[in-house]
Structure 1
Amino acid sequence: MSQNSGLQINDFRHEIKVPLQRLQYVDFSEWLMQSGLVLQKTFADRRIHSVYLDTPFLDDYQDNVSGMSKRGKIRFRWYNDERSKIVLELKNKRGRLANKLVIPLDNPTEAYPFDRTVSNGLLGCHRRSRALTREHCLFPCLHVQYERAYYEIAPNIRMTLDTDIHYQKLFPIQTHSMRRSNVDVVAEFKYATEDAKRAAQLLSGMPGRVFRHSKYVVGVDTVCDL
Structure 2
Amino acid sequence: MFNPVCRQVKRPDQTITHYSLEVIQQLCDYIKDSNADPTEALVLYLIIFHGLSTQELRFAQLPCVIALREEIPVQTLVEAYYLVLPKPIPSRGLRTSGRFDNLLLFPSQAAMWFKPLLQRFLEQRQQRLKGSTNQYLLVAPGQALHKKPVSQKTIQRIVRQASLRVLGVTCYPKVLRSTAGVIFTDRAGVGILSRMGWGDQQAFAYGYAQRQTVRPHGYSVR
**Do these two structures clear the TM 0.5 threshold for a shared fold by scoring above it?**
no
- TM tier, smaller: under 0.3
Q: Looking at secondary structure, tell me which structure has more strand per residue.
A: 1
Question: Larger radius of gyration, structure 1 or 2?
Answer: 2
- TM-score of the aligned structures, taking structure 1 as reference length: 0.25
Length-normalised TM-score, structure 2? 0.25
